[in-house]
Amino acid sequence: MFWKIYSIFIAVICVMTLYYSFTLLDVVWVLLAIIACIGVYGYGAKKKLFIESFWKVYFIFYVIIDQIYNWIVVPKIDAKGFSLQSLIGLLFFIPIYIGLYLYSYKNSNINEKITE
């Protein structure tokens, strides 16, 4: 239940950030985050969404892109460098990484149940 509520909450927060900043970079980041939320929701709902290999590749891709965005791109755009707000945002997204990892690599029982 936690994973479903958390993924919906994060997806709503991500979409709401577009109200404050609507650049192409922000739109791409929100779309990537929403796809990650879909994976976390699938883990929480114990439902197979897309194919297993997609989530394995997407997990690695998302973590790398999200770290580049948070540690390199945002500090250069804001010209303030790394801030406490960035750290809080990073801590807030750690469960996304965990849920997406669990859905991608530790979710074989869901995939077996669906194929039967």
Give residue 5's pLDDT: 92
First to last CA, the chain: 25
pTM of the model: 0.82
% of the chain residues with pLDDT over 70 = 84
Q: What is the pLDDT of residue 55?
A: 93
pLDDT, tens digit, 9 for 90 and up, residues 88-98: 777 888 999 99
Task: Locate the domains of the chain by residue range.
Answer: 2-115
Q: CA of 40: how far to CAs of 7, 77, 86, 98, 116, in Å? A: 6, 29, 22, 9, 23
Q: What is the pLDDT of residues 31-50, one digit of tens each?
A: 999 999 999 999 999 888 88
Q: Is the pLDDT of residue 87 over 70?
A: yes
